[in-house]
Amino acid sequence: MGEFKKIAVSPPVQKGGSQFTPEQLMKIGTLAGADAKIEMTPFKQLYVQVPIDQHDAIKDEFERSGLEVNPAGFVTKALIACNFCKGEEAAGLETAKLLNQAIAGIETPTPMKVGYAGCALGTSEPLLKDIGVVKMKDTFDIYVGGEPKGLKVAKAKLLCSGVTQDRLAHVVTTIIDFYKENAKSKEKFSKFVDRMTLEQLQEIVA
């Protein structure tokens, strides 16, 4: 029996939220095989085990079906976005897509979740993510350090506001890079934020 590799499969960032088409679900089932293990994760991704020797071919097939494929494990997950109920332009769908391209799959000390909300309703719960992005009219507020699990659930703290669209991806990836370079072994991002302090992170992204 050959070796297997776990990959993270998700629909693209789109109006309506995390929606798979019937064809995409059929493609996942067909390519993964009858005996495959498929796990629904809290990251709105499916973890699919595929044979290592078929990884590249299966990845290409998934992507041709309009699916996104990223590494599983200790990486930044695909962007967890809202449903863009305010409209694609008003809620910043294209900006969210660009942010997703910039952050998904980056190796990190622990798995990271980045949330995006196209308005202050925050239906994607960005303040419970490691990094939360909220569109406020024509600019963005960025929050850090949300903790959704355990007995010490915590809301993310406002890191900066008024971030322009052209700087958004840079600011978020700067935070991720700083975490990668300075975290202790397997240090959760929320604990990292507390240890480094909000003020130091604000200096990093200024």
Alpha carbon distance 62, 69 (integer Å): 7
Q: pLDDT over 90 for what percent of the chain?
A: 90
What is the phi/psi pair of residue 165, to 5°?
-55, -40
| pLDDT score recorded for residue 185 | 93
Taking residue 104's Cβ as centre, other Cβ atoms within 10 Å add up to 21
Contact 31, 60 (CB under 8 A): no
Domains in the chain (CATH in brackets) are: 4-71 (3.30.70), 80-205 (3.30.413.10)
Report which residue type is found at 159: L
User: DSSP secondary structure string, the chain?
Assistant: ---EEEEEEEPPS-TTSS---HHHHHHHHHHH-TT--EEE-TTS-EEEEEEGGGHHHHHHHHHHTT-EEEE-SSBBPSPEE---TT-HHHHTHHHHHHHHHHHTT-B-SS-B-EEEESSTT-TT-GGGSSEEEEEETTEEEEEE--B-SSS--BPPEEEEEEE-HHHHHHHHHHHHHHHHHHPPTT--HHHHHHHH-HHHHHHHH-
Contact 132, 142 (CB under 8 A): yes
| pLDDT score recorded for residue 1 | 52
Report which residue type is found at 128: L
Q: What is the pTM of this model?
A: 0.94
Kindly give the confidence (pLDDT) of every residue in the chain, 206 residues in length, as a single tens digit, with 9 standing for 90 and above: 578 899 999 999 999 999 999 999 999 999 988 888 899 998 899 999 999 999 999 999 999 999 999 999 999 999 999 999 999 999 999 999 999 999 999 999 999 999 999 999 999 999 999 999 999 999 999 999 999 887 788 999 999 999 999 999 999 999 999 999 999 999 999 999 999 999 999 999 98
Taking residue 180's Cβ as centre, other Cβ atoms within 10 Å add up to 14
**Three-state SS letters, 43-60:** CCCEEEEEEHHHHHHHHH
Chain mean pLDDT for the chain: 95
| pLDDT score recorded for residue 47 | 96
pLDDT tens string 101-112? 999 999 999 999
| pLDDT score recorded for residue 152 | 80
| pLDDT score recorded for residue 36 | 81
Taking residue 186's Cβ as centre, other Cβ atoms within 10 Å add up to 8
